Amino acid sequence: MLRSLAIWSLVCGFAQAADVSDPTKLMFAADRLAKSIDIISLDDLTVTHRIEPSIMVDHIVATPFAPVLAYSSIGERKLVFYDLEKKSENRTIDLPVVPRHMVLDTTGSKIAITDDVDGGFALVHAYSKEILLLLPDFPATADVLFDPNDVDIYYSNVKAGTLGLLDINTSETYEMQIVDEANQMLSSPSRSLDGRYVYVSNASTGEIYSMNAYSKVIFNTFETNGIPARPYTTPEGVFLYMMDRENGRLVTIEQQGFTKYADLDLGEGVDLVTVGRFDRLNLFSSRHNRHWHIVDNVSKKVVKRGTFAGLPLNALGSADGRYAYVAFSDVAKVAVVDLEKQSITLVDATQNGSRAFTIGLSNNVCH
């Protein structure tokens, strides 16, 4: 209790003076139990402002090129926009779709909202704050994937066993069969840097599929012999990471020739990856355990490992690839991992741990 009061006193003291208008210099952590969002400076790693939102925040996105924060509530089915310059909410949208998933596009101007239980899709413009496209009968799907052409959106249709493609200009969908059986445990899609290949994992079979985005056919199938996490492609475009969230196996594929680069046993299941500069030093962690591993892509070895103070909610990389930021769901802290020094700094944030977390500009562009 005293710790919470101390943090709140610090926040109050700087709340009015702090400039939080540039999202690229900020982290945002929404509290797990309370209606509050802490804004953390990436420069001095302190909470500089606390937002008291009108809703309980389940998802949060920050547009990197404008002072706009958007957060949603699953229970209240609302999307709220917050003006970071004026430090006030300026628009609330009652959503016709339950916002169980919310993804920002690569330009930072559009927000895709989906529901993996009842289905439905909404595309919202982050600047005009209007719904651009609404598809009530859209298949139930988790996080969608924006193509770099800013027209196509990929999604996984678990019920049909397909990889779907939505053209936002025409509102038409095209579904590509990837498995013969329906109701497979398909991950959200990921893509190569150039958008040529789209990847989907199947936790039901242990397979990961590489779909050619132009021919619309499966180019390659990989085996993990476990339960694969969502595939991840690196910001430099060199590697595809296939992670076994059951056994801790990590397989690295060179995307240019689709040849195996490395095959490591991390010991514990992983489903989060943060990539360092030049795709070299990478942090692997999990939403299901507290263990972390830093892998050197040159030596193809784990160079350091340890245990976090809390259970990771999410992990994001800085735009320059120097740092990884990890929010915890059960501890009122955020970890800042210096990938090159392999050191960790803990930042006091939130009162009860994080329910939602983002940074204003990340290198997680193909996921």
DSSP string, 105-171: -TTSSEEEEE-TTT--EEEEETTT--EEEEETTPPP-SS-EE-TTSSEEEEEETTTTEEEEEETTTT
Cβ distance 232 to 245 under 8 Å? no
Report the C-alpha gap between 223 and 190 in whole angstroms.
Answer: 17
- Within 10 Å of residue 185's Cβ, how many Cβ atoms? 13
* Global pTM value: 0.92
Report the C-alpha gap between 285 and 277 in whole angstroms.
Answer: 18
pLDDT at residue 84 in the model: 98
Q: Write out the E strands in 266-330.
A: 272-275, 281-285, 291-296, 301-307, 312-317, 323-328
Report the C-alpha gap between 284 and 308 in whole angstroms.
Answer: 12
Residue ranges in the chain whose pLDDT is less than 70: 1-17
Cβ distance 158 to 175 under 8 Å? no
Is 19 buried (19+), middle (13-18) or exposed (0-12) by CB count in 10 A? middle
For 152-181, the pLDDT digits (tens) are: 999 999 999 999 999 999 999 999 999 887
pLDDT at residue 148 in the model: 87
